[in-house]
């Protein structure tokens, strides 16, 4: 078994992609009037769109948008747990717009088609002597899905993927293809860096990259009470640092990544996917005694030695997440995150013995993007997972007020019940975003019921 896959695969974050693109053409698989369903990765979001389309070129996309009378939502890889994608009108996949468009070796930037997945991008950039500065721990999302939802990895000095966007091209409701950056269409750019697919369909994104590098991953089990006082220091001492707390074990798994020039290596024993099912089995068979459950699991975890692996950065960041789950993640001010985490732990362990997925804790640098949950504050994110076929609502109903009490902003792609009023209060540039959205999409072509509700529109 491979342990990184074991515990890491389980958790983590996700978010992938949900962002809107356009509509009714040759690019559809329904030649008849048959409606086919859509669902996301975990299966908690579903819809029956009247059309499913996948334009093969930017020109085709423009024509579709220009001629469509239907509302259009775009979907990337379907890894969002929130209601960003579902629509009963037109659902548009951007997956056919993929690959590298342009590379600038002087500035270390690359322009990438929006439907490329992170998994595809790593090797493509490597061939061009570039690499993304940071990545999340799954890589199946499309780049545009990541940008639209402010998808992030971990690293106290590292921003979300949106933070590294230098420019982007977007097809707006009129069908026009606009270029925006810090120097051109500046307001549009500020809004589009995290736009939930509500401004139009992003077709390509220019990313500020770095030269290729290798990462060494070190994973270590620690008693949670021992880890907690060190967590802040560890987040500063490592390029990427995160940890998982395993409810009903008293144990945490730390995960540290640092740049290295050492040769590739792999030293991992446990598989995250089978590991999570082991935890499920332990819950199923030992739920009559949480003390025994903790004794057995923690004793086992303490025997697992430090594990290390080294590879290209893009091969190290991501793990396979094949055990499906639903997820709530909130982004809290860095100085409050660990306190909130302790409260979350107490709530879970006092009321929810059925929980076996770990709670993930990550660190993200502040940015100045209007709808970024990291807007002007260094952040600790706390993610709570629930096995996909088990009811997540009671758990999330108990945990969400704690995360909100500590000024948390929800991840755009994950389950939350934030209201329009709360978003308005949590985002200082909310009004500016709405003005830009109204300007470029006055008739709400790119809205679905969730966005209408979230934006406070009637």
**Is residue 297 a contact residue for other proteins (CB under 8 A)?**
yes
CA angle 142, 147, 151 (to 5 degrees): 85
CA angle 365, 371, 375 (to 5 degrees): 30
What does the DSSP assignment read for 146-193? Answer: HHHHT----BTT---GGGGEEEEEEE-TTS-EEEEESSSSHHHHHHHT
**Is residue 344 a contact residue for other proteins (CB under 8 A)?**
no
Applying CB under 8 A, which of residues 50, 218, 258, 300 lies at the interface with other proteins?
A: 300
- Of 224-232, 250-258, 317-325, 404-412, which segment contacts other proteins by CB under 8 A? 317-325
**Is residue 383 a contact residue for other proteins (CB under 8 A)?**
no
Residue 294 or 441 having the CB closest to other proteins: 294
Those residues whose C-beta lies under 8 Å from the C-beta of residue 73, and which sit 6 or more positions away, are 18, 20, 21, 49, 84, 85, 86, 87, 89, 90, 91, 92, 197, 446, 448
Residue 97 — φ and ψ, nearest 5°? -95, 85
The number of C-alpha atoms within 13 Å of 116 and in the hemisphere containing its C-beta is 22
**Is residue 87 a contact residue for other proteins (CB under 8 A)?**
no
- Of 70-78, 204-212, 226-234, 330-338, which segment contacts other proteins by CB under 8 A? 70-78
Residue 282 to residues 22, 31, 88, Cα–Cα distance (Å): 46, 49, 41
Applying CB under 8 A, which of residues 58, 323, 344, 402 lies at the interface with other proteins?
A: 323
User: Nearest distance from residue 401's CB to other proteins, in Å?
Assistant: 32
- Of 159-167, 293-301, 327-335, 442-450, which segment contacts other proteins by CB under 8 A? 293-301
**Is residue 431 a contact residue for other proteins (CB under 8 A)?**
no
Q: What share of the chain is helix, strand, coil (3-state, %, to 5)?
A: 30, 25, 40
Applying CB under 8 A, which of residues 82, 87, 134, 140 lies at the interface with other proteins?
A: 140
**Is residue 95 a contact residue for other proteins (CB under 8 A)?**
yes
Those residues whose C-beta lies under 8 Å from the C-beta of residue 288, and which sit 6 or more positions away, are none
**Is residue 31 a contact residue for other proteins (CB under 8 A)?**
yes
Applying CB under 8 A, which of residues 96, 179, 345, 453 lies at the interface with other proteins?
A: 96
User: Nearest distance from residue 18's CB to other proteins, in Å?
Assistant: 12
Burial profile 200-221: b = 16 or more Cβ within 10 angstroms, e = fewer: bbbbbbbbbbeebebbbbbbbb
What is the distance between the alpha carbons of residues 166 and 252, in angstroms, rounded to a whole number?
A: 37
Applying CB under 8 A, which of residues 218, 274, 407, 434 lies at the interface with other proteins?
A: 274
- Of 29-37, 145-153, 325-333, 390-398, which segment contacts other proteins by CB under 8 A? 29-37
**Is residue 453 a contact residue for other proteins (CB under 8 A)?**
no
Applying CB under 8 A, which of residues 89, 242, 268, 278 lies at the interface with other proteins?
A: 278
What is the distance between the alpha carbons of residues 274 and 193, in angstroms, rounded to a whole number?
A: 37
User: Nearest distance from residue 86's CB to other proteins, in Å?
Assistant: 13
Binding site for other proteins (CB under 8 A): 5, 27-29, 31, 36-41, 43, 52-54, 56, 75, 77-78, 91-93, 95-96, 98, 119, 140, 271, 273-274, 278, 281-282, 284-285, 295-297, 299-300, 303, 320, 322-324
């Amino acid at each position: 078994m491979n342990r990184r896959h074991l515990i890491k695969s389980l958790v983590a974050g996700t978010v992938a992609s949900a962002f809107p693109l356009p509509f009714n053409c040759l690019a559809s698989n329904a030649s008849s009037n048959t409606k086919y369903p859509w669902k996301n990765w975990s299966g908690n979001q579903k819809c029956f769109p009247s059309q499913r389309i996948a334009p093969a070129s930017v020109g085709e996309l423009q024509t579709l948008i220009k001629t469509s009378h239907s509302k259009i939502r775009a979907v990337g890889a379907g890894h969002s747990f929130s209601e960003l994608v579902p629509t009963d009108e037109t659902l548009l996949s951007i997956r056919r717009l993929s690959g590298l468009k342009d590379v600038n070796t002087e500035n270390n930037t690359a322009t990438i088609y929006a439907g490329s997945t992170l998994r595809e991008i790593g090797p493509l950039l490597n061939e061009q002597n570039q690499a993304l500065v940071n990545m999340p721990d799954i890589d199946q999302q499309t780049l545009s899905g990541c940008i639209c939802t402010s998808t992030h990895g971990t690293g106290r000095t590292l921003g979300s993927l949106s933070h590294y966007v230098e420019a982007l091209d977007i097809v707006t409701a009129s069908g026009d293809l606009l270029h925006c950056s810090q120097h051109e269409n500046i307001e549009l750019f500020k809004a589009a860096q995290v736009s939930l697919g509500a401004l139009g369909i992003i077709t390509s994104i220019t990313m500020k990259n770095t030269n290729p590098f290798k990462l060494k991953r070190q994973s270590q089990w620690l008693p949670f009470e021992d880890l907690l006082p060190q967590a802040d220091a560890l987040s500063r001492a490592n390029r990427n640092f995160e940890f998982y707390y395993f409810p009903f074990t008293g144990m945490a798994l730390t995960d540290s990544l640092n740049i290295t020039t050492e040769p590739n290596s792999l030293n991992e024993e446990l598989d995250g996917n089978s590991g999570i099912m082991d935890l499920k089995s332990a819950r199923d068979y030992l739920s009559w005694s949480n003390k025994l459950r903790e004794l057995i699991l923690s004793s086992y975890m303490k025997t697992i030695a430090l594990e290390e692996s080294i590879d290209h950065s893009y091969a190290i960041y991501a793990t396979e997440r094949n055990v499906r789950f639903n997820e709530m993640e909130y982004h809290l001010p860095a100085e409050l995150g660990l306190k909130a985490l302790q409260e979350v732990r107490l709530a879970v362990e006092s009321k929810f013995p059925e929980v076996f997925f770990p709670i993930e804790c990550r660190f993200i640098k502040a940015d100045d993007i209007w709808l970024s949950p990291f807007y002007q504050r260094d952040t600790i994110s706390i993610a709570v997972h629930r096995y996909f076929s088990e009811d997540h609502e009671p758990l999330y109903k108990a945990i969400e007020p704690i995360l909100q009490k500590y000024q948390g902003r929800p991840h755009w792609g994950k389950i939350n019940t934030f209201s329009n009023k709360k978003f308005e209060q949590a985002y200082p540039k909310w009004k500016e975003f709405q003005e830009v959205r109204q300007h470029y999409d006055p008739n709400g072509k790119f809205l679905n019921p969730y966005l209408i509700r979230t934006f406070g529109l009637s």
